[in-house]
Structure formats: C-alpha cells, structure tokens
Chains A and B, each alone.
Chain A
Amino acid sequence: MTVTPATANDVDAIALRNLSKRFHEGRLPSFGHTDEGVLAVDDLSLDVREGQIFGLIGPNGAGKTTVLRMLLGLVHPTQGASYIFGEKMHPGSKVLRRVGTLVETPGFVPHMSGMENLKSFWLAGGDSWKDANIGPALEIAGLGTAIDRKVRTYSKGMQQRLALAQVLLNRPQLLVLDEPTVGLDPGEMRDVRDLIRRLGQEGSTIFLSSHILAELELVCTHAAVMAKGKLVASGTVEELIGGRQSVYVEVDDVERALRVLQATPGVIRAEPEPPGVAVALDGIARNEIVAALVHAGVGVETVSTRRRLEDAFLGMMEGEDA
C-alpha cells in the first residue's frame, strides 16, 4: 500500500491536544503537606501526519514514555486529549485495531512459546487467527525453529524481535514504538532501522521515541524535542538541525588549524581534539573550510560529519538549563 504525498499530509495520524499528566505519590495529604505530585507532561500539543516517520527525542525522564502511554490509553491524562486518525483515545479504543505497539520492553508469557504468545496476544484482541499477518511477521522476527521454544529461554534480543513480529500482526497503519532498538546488538539495530524505513516507504506512519539521536536522524523525517515534560521544538529533521552542522577534521598541525578556523567566517566554534579539530559550522560548506585549511598550508587527513541532530539537541538542552 502506498500513500501519495498529496493525501499523506492532509490527515492527522496522531493529534495530541494540551496533554498534561501529573503523577501523585499516593501519600495522604497531611497538615502542612499537600501532594502536588510531579508534572511529567506539561501542556503538550503535537501533530503527526500520515506517512511521517516521527521521532520523539528527549533525555531520560523528559516524559516521552508517558506521552506514548497516554496516546495508547494506558495512562489517563490529567488534562487534554489525544486522537488517532481523528478518533479520541480512551482505554481499548477501536482504532487500536489499526495500531501496532511496542511500549518499552517486550512483555511475554514466559511459559508459552513465541508462537503461542503471538497467538494468545492476537486472539485476546477478539480477532480471528486467519486474519493475522503471520508470515511477514515471522519473517521479521527471524527466530526460525526457536519460535516454538518457550519465551523463558529467549535472549533479550530474541524477545525484542518477537515483539516486533507482534507489532506487525495487524498490518498496522500506525506504529507507536518506544525505544525499539533497546537491547539489540548493532546488526539487529540496523535491521530494525531498515524495517522502520521500509514500513515508512510502504505508507505506514511511525511514531517512535529514542534517546539514541544518531539513530533517529537516520530514520526519521520529522522530530519533536521534549525536555522536562514540555515540547521544546518540532519540525522536520532538517529544520531542527538548521544550517548548523559539525565536522571533525583530522589535520597534521592542530595549533595552526585552530588559528585558521577561528579566523574563518561561518565557523561558530573550533575545539582541539587531537589528532584533529572539532568544528561547528553555520552557513558554510565543508569543502570551504577544507580549502581554507589547505590554503594556509595545513595538511588535511580526513573530514567526517558529526552527529548533527545530537548537536542541535544538546544546543536546545543548554538553552533549557539556562
């Protein structure tokens, strides 16, 4: 199934409207002490349009998971509401039939096999097993004969792959994934990234959270940054990064390179990191600084791009703390 760009941007797959969540400690209020609780999510509004691969970024404790859980009806918002495909969400909403979900870690019944777990999950939703997208899901899991072993014997990576198979069982139009690559090795991480990209190309909307920014940068079209329960920024990944980027230049003379770079317009910052220099750029191309260095007689060994989203993100976080 493919969605043409014209229709893709007309419909909100997800709309969060003024979502707030205050967690109480469960203590009884006593004289001089009221349980104000903790404001985990503070008046958050967000739109994810159909066809987007939307990343939710934020440090641990920013409220990402709480947002995802409110979206799915697991956590009751203190204020506000969330909508999926225009339908207001409540626990067990019918629209969940069109959503595939991975919330934090996988959760399976340890004394049943992988296959029995998938079947049990599916049938508990009131659907017929013959409607399940079992073939492609098992292909993604790639568990082979281990699918008939008890989940108790699975490694963390195997459980994560089974969870991804579970996500795909209902051919979801929207995937909500919380930290989908946690616990995977680098090869498995790449497989998951490829899977997310492929599903995005096939027209699924994907809303995922992660604190591994390089990973989000690789797969997402759009992103939002959260800090302390609030939305700090949102937009396309390119917009968030802006004109800024940072590069690492390996040179033969660090001192000289620093002097040259600091005198070059468009260079925000140049810091020595032997055997090279880390350079933050705004509005200047990489080849221009290489040219400037070579022109000044500095030998350039390699030039590599740093993780740009991470820089943008850290820049925003610094602004938050100030």
Chain B
Amino acid sequence: MTGAILVELRKQLFRLRTYLAIGAMIAIPVIITLSLEFGRQPRHPREQTFFVVATHSGLNVPLAALVATSTFLLVIVVALFAGAAISEESNWGSLRYLLVRPVSRSRLLATKLAVACALSFIAAVVIPVSGLIAGTFFFGWHEVLTPDFTVFSQSEALGRIALATLYVAWCMTGVIALAFMISTMTDTTLGSVAGSLGLVIISQVMNAIDSLGNNRTFLITHYWRAWEQLFQYPTETTDMVNGFLLQIPYVVVFLALAWWWFHRRDILT
C-alpha cells in the first residue's frame, strides 16, 4: 500500500502542473510582502486588517497570506489536485490499466485520495512558510501585532500560526472529498474542478446573505475564517471546533458516494 502511494505521489509531484500550483502558493506571500514593502501604506487606515498590521513583523505576513489565499486560491489548487485524481487517468486512458491489475478499486481510490490530501496539505503549508521567510527578511523577527492590537510573543505566535494552518488545511477536506467524488463520475478534470468550485461559490454566496441567519452554520464554507479568532483577545475557539466538526459529515457523505459510485461504475474509457 505504501509502495503504491509513493508511486502515485511521484507521478503527481514531479509534473509542471504541481510545480505551478505549489509555486503560486509560495509566490503569493512573497508578492504580498513586496507590495507592502514598496507600496504606500495609508497613514490612517479606515479599518485594521491583517494587511494593515502585516508590516509590523515578519510573523504577521503568514496571517495576511492565509487571509488572501485560504478562501479562494488555495481552494482552486485543492480542487485541482482532488478533482483530477480519477478523471485525469480516465482521460489518459490509463484508468483501465490501473484496474486490470490484481488490486481492488477501493485500494486505488484510497491511494489516489491519500496523494490528493498530501499535495493539498503541502499547498496549504507552503503559504505561511513562504510568508514567514519573506516577511522576516523585510520586516524582521518581532512580536506579532494583531488587528485588535493584541500582542503575541514570537513563540506564542508561531504556535498559533501552526494551529491556524492546520485548521485551514483541515477545512479543505470537505472540498477534497467533493472534488474527489465528482472526479470518479466524470472523464474531464475541468468538470470536477469547476463542479466543486461552483458548489463552494454557492456556499460562499449563501453565507453572505444575512437573512439566512443561523441556517448558514451548515454551509461548508461558513467557518473557514474561524482561525482568525486565534489572533483576538480573548481568544475564542468555539467556531473553530464547530468548523472542525462540520467538515466530517461532508467528508463522510462525499467519500461514501464516491466509493459507491466507483464500485458500480463500468469502465468504458
């Protein structure tokens, strides 16, 4: 099993698409840093945001980078990794050759899913790491100042950044499961990526409609920015716990559908 995962990881990791996707996740925090360094900051900002305080310390930049990427660009990359998993092999014509080996379809799905998760995790982790390096280079290694003027020591901030990153990565599992499910049903990668992004966008639109009230707490994207509360005083974690738990039913349902569909599917491509 681990052998099969390594082979699959090798297949997906060393290719132009992965370089570009991971490269973009590395580039964006650098671009943010450079923009803040060389752009002009408003003297009296209307609102305190993670961007306004980002120049305070290199440790602030990962937070700005996560805000900038975690609800859209990262989602696209993750949807690509998971949405291509099965559909792309189908498109290449190699799926049937994977399935005439003495290996169960479950094992193929598990292998593909593990690699999609690994790549998505890498994409999420490089964002704060890149921000940390670029930010420290330009803004130095200082205490973190948050938008509500709370100050965290460097070590405390590092721990919270790590936790926030893990939370952002975890929030992608619902999207991974969704894109992966569509990937077992279509032969075009574009279809599964667009399909899953479409549902994410619908969720985000509904989340913005205040009149829906508490019904919105069931939306897959509702708690995506709950990690920002780690950088408030007093720190509130209820939303993060809810957000963590909310992904589970989505993951279970989407993956169960993926398994069911893929096992009854006739491989005609």
Contact = CB atoms under 8 A, between A and B. Distances in A.
Centre residue among B8, B100, B104, B263 by max chain A CB count within 10 A: B100
A8 B41 CA distance: 85
B205 interface: no
A111 B100 CA distance: 22
Interface of B: 1, 3-4, 7-8, 10-11, 15-16, 89, 92-105, 107-108, 111, 263-264, 266-268
B266 A76 contact: yes
Q: Which 9 A-B pairs have the closest CB atoms?
A: A107-B93, A125-B101, A107-B94, A74-B267, A92-B104, A96-B102, A75-B266, A123-B7, A101-B100
Interface in A47-105: 69, 72-76, 91-97, 99, 101, 103-105
Contact of B264 (A76, A95, A101): A76
A123 B97 contact: no
A75 B102 contact: no
B15 A91 contact: no
B96 A74 contact: yes
Q: Main secondary structure on chain A at its contact with chain B?
A: loop
Nearest to A69: B267
B99 A91 contact: yes
Q: Main secondary structure on chain B at its contact with chain A?
A: helix
Interface residues of A, number: 34
Contacts of B263: 91
Nearest to B263: A91
A196 B50 CA distance: 68
Nearest to B17: A111
A207 B267 CA distance: 20
A74 B99 contact: yes
A282 B16 CA distance: 64
Given A91-B105, A92-B104, A111 B16 contact: yes
A303 to B, nearest CB: 45
Contacts of A6: none
